[in-house]
Structures are given as C-alpha cells and as structure tokens.
Amino acid sequence: MTRVFILATIRKTELAAYTELVFDTLRVGFPTAQVEVHLNGAPEVPVEHWQRVKDLAENCGCKVKLIPETNHHEWIDKLIETETSDFWILDTDVIFYGKVEHWTFEEPLAGALIPEFFDEFTQAITRSRLHTSLMHIRPIELKVQLLNYELKHPRTIYNPPAYVVFPLYMPFNGRTYFYDTMAMAYHAVSGRAFTPQQKDCYFHFHFGTFSDLVLPKLSYNMQGPRDAVMQNPELGIGAWRMQEQFFAARQFSEPGQDVIAPIDPKDAEDARKWNIELCKGDTAAMTFCDMWYRYCHGIDDLIDTLRDGRPRMHKEQMVSLFFNAAVFYNLEFYVKHRELLFPIVLQVTNTYQDSIAWEHSPLSHLRQMADVFRTCGNEMYVIVALICGGEAHMRKMSMAIKERDWLGQHDAAGNPV
C-alpha cells in the first residue's frame, strides 16, 4: 500500500490555514494511501488549532501522532533512516487536482525539479533540487546509492562528507551557494523530475508556513496571487508554469568581466605598419589579418579568464567573439584563398591546444614548448605573406614577425609576461 508522511507545523496562528490546506484535497491525490500525520509540537500555538488539524486529518482517515518539536530536514532524515519501503513526503500547503498515488518510480528520488536560481530571501544562489513538497523516496535504494557516492572518495577524518539530507550554506568565489533540504542528495544520486502532466495534478504554495518571513524579502508582490488561489483553489491548476517563470527570471549567471584589453594607440599604429608591409598594401588581406588577430586574441582571453573551470569573460564579449568568427570565415580574402588558409586554421588550433595542455606541466621542456607554441597564430600571417608577396617575402616576414612577438611577450630575462 502507498504510504504518505506529512509533517504538520503551525508557527503562527495567522498561518494555520497553510497547515490545514492539504486535508481539503488529500484524498483526491491519495485516495487509498496510508497517511501518517506528525503534529510538530509548538507550545505557543493555541491548542484549538492543533485540535483542528488533528480533526481534519482523522476525518481523512489519517493516523495522527504528536511528535517532539523538530524541523523539516531532521524529520525527513529520520524517515529515511527508519523506513524500509517506498514512501511519499507531503507538505501541508498543497492542493490536489488529480490522483498521484499510482505514480511509480525506479529512481531513489522523484519530485518537481526546481532549477538553480538566486533567492532573494536567503540572499544566496540556491542550487537545483527535487522539491520536498511532494517527493517519492525509495529509502533503501537512496542509502545504497549515497553510500556508493561516498565510497568514491577516501574515508578519513580529513575529508568528512557533507550530510546530504540537511540544508547547507557554503561560500564559493565570494558568493554564497545554498543547498536546500535534499539538494545535495539529488546532486549525489540524481532522481526523476515530475513531468508537466504530473505537475498539473497538484499545486504547492512554497514556504506557506513561513511566508511571513519570505514574502517581505521578495521584489515580486506574490501575496495577491496566493490569496486568490486560497480563495479559489482551481486557479492553481497549471500555476506551476508561473512559478517556473519566477525561477527562470532569477536564474543566476556570472556577469563576467571586460577582459579584452584595449589596444594602445601606439601599438595600433605600429601594427598597422607591420600589416601594410606584410600584405604589401592589399586591403582585403589587411582586413583578414586584423580579423584573425581579434579572433585569436579573443579565444586566448577567454581561456585566460577560466577560474575553477568557469570563464569570467563578459557575455557580450563571448557573443562578439562568435560574431567575429562568422565574419572572418566569410571575408573576401579567406573565401578566395580558402584551400590554403583553412588547413592553417586547423594547424594553429591544434598547436594552441598543445600549448594549453603543457603550459603548467611539471616538465620544463613541455613548458618551454608551450611558451613557443602560444604564438602559433603567427603561422597565418606567414601564409598571407606568401600569398601577397611570394616565397622571399614570406621568409623575410616569418622571422621578423616571430621575433617581434617573442620579444613583446617576454621580459629581458626571457621569462613569459
């Protein structure tokens, strides 16, 4: 038989309606399930409110227990530790529109997927998770998979694992990331996200029993829509789409930085002189060389901004880099000489990858090779010189450009700058 556990908490008298709400439609979602309601003791709440919740639950055929005062994540943790067969956990601020107890899942966790977003209440980037308002848990499978996850890492006193059921704040690069209840468990073992059709079967208010704390912190006035659904529950059908718009509008992304240093006017004038000499005044070839310079240095700047595997380049600059590439591969000079130039693009790209792979190698000879290879984009200028002026011109410009680039990227002692 399907089993359901509900933690009924009343923090404040004026929020009691969110604790009572689920019992209006509980048997729509779980018509035959064995439901156990745990009254979360709070002595400051008048006893008549607890009696009302108890009566509503018993009228739905639920078994009711008064438990010592606890919190949500500790309650879930105890269920996972003590239960041996599948069960559901259910919040009290939920309205059902269709039957859910027949849903089956092979995964250890199943629930509505909440994406990563910036939460104005916690002032943190809340990591994605399957929401615990309506969650199916297979406790044995979950514990086995969590143990398998832990066993991937050494088990010593120096690297204790996080307790994946509990919520946790953590700093990262000057920001705060928040793993809400069960979020770390989801990231450790994954799970099944509810389908749109499944989410149409119920509505969840989010933070109903502590809305007095959250709502004043939000920039969006959510009170009106919430009151409307409380007055007319049918308005909640499909409202999860609006909730997802709320999360989508708060998706977090690094703003990035303007990492491409502007060219000094003197350097620009010097480069123009070199370009004229290299291309023998061919304006189409000069435009090609200018675009190649921007393309290569844009890629190099993007790679240089990686920190912890994440680029810090401004989003607009990334887009501009791709725009530059689209224009570059359609330039008159490139189209005309594609058969000669395209292999150089591939060769330069491969050599640059060698440079990236070896630049921090513990072997000195590989670091030295990486230092030489990082100027491999010059090979394109060598071919342009061949096209514009022949072999003698190519040989002259090849050595001059490579020496110039080396001196510009090393100090007097020959160290890379």
Q: How confident is the model at residue 417 (pLDDT cuts 50, 70, 90)?
A: confident
Cβ(24)–Cβ(57) under 8 Å? no
Query: Tell me, what amino acid is at 5?
Result: F
CATH-assigned architecture of domain 3-248: Alpha-Beta Complex (3.90)
Helix axes 283-304, 378-408, angle to 10 degrees: 60
Give the residue-averaged pLDDT of 356-373: 91
Output the pLDDT for position 309: 67
For 38-90, the DSSP string reads EEE--TTS-HHHHHHHHHHHHHTT-EEEEE----HHHHHHHHHHH--S-EEEE
Domain parsing of the chain, residue ranges: 3-248, 265-408
> Residue 129 in 3-state DSSP?
strand
pLDDT over threshold 70, residue 259: no
pLDDT at 185 over 70: yes
Q: Is pLDDT of 257 > 70?
A: no
Residue among 98, 10, 85, 11 nearest 53 (CA): 10
Give the pair of three-digit tokens for residue 307. Answer: 């920190």
Average pLDDT over residues 43-60: 89
pLDDT, tens digit, 9 for 90 and up, residues 145-161: 999 999 999 989 999 98
DSSP secondary-structure letter at 313? B
The whole-chain average pLDDT of the chain stands at 92
Q: Tens digits of per-residue pLDDT, 119-130?
A: 999 999 999 999
pLDDT the model gives residue 110: 98
Q: Which of 51-65, 105-119, 125-139, 242-256 has the lowest mean pLDDT?
A: 242-256
pLDDT in the model for residue 41: 72
Instruction: Tell me the whole-structure pTM to 2 decimals.
Output: 0.74
163-181 residue pLDDT tens: 999 999 999 888 999 999 9
Model confidence band, residue 329 (pLDDT cutoffs 50, 70, 90): very high
Query: 237, 201, 6: which is closest to 100 by C-alpha?
Result: 201
Long-range contacts of 341-347 (CB under 8 A, 24+ apart): 341/380, 341/383, 344/379, 344/380, 344/383, 345/380, 347/376, 347/379
- Average pLDDT (298-317) is 80
Helix/strand/coil for 169: strand
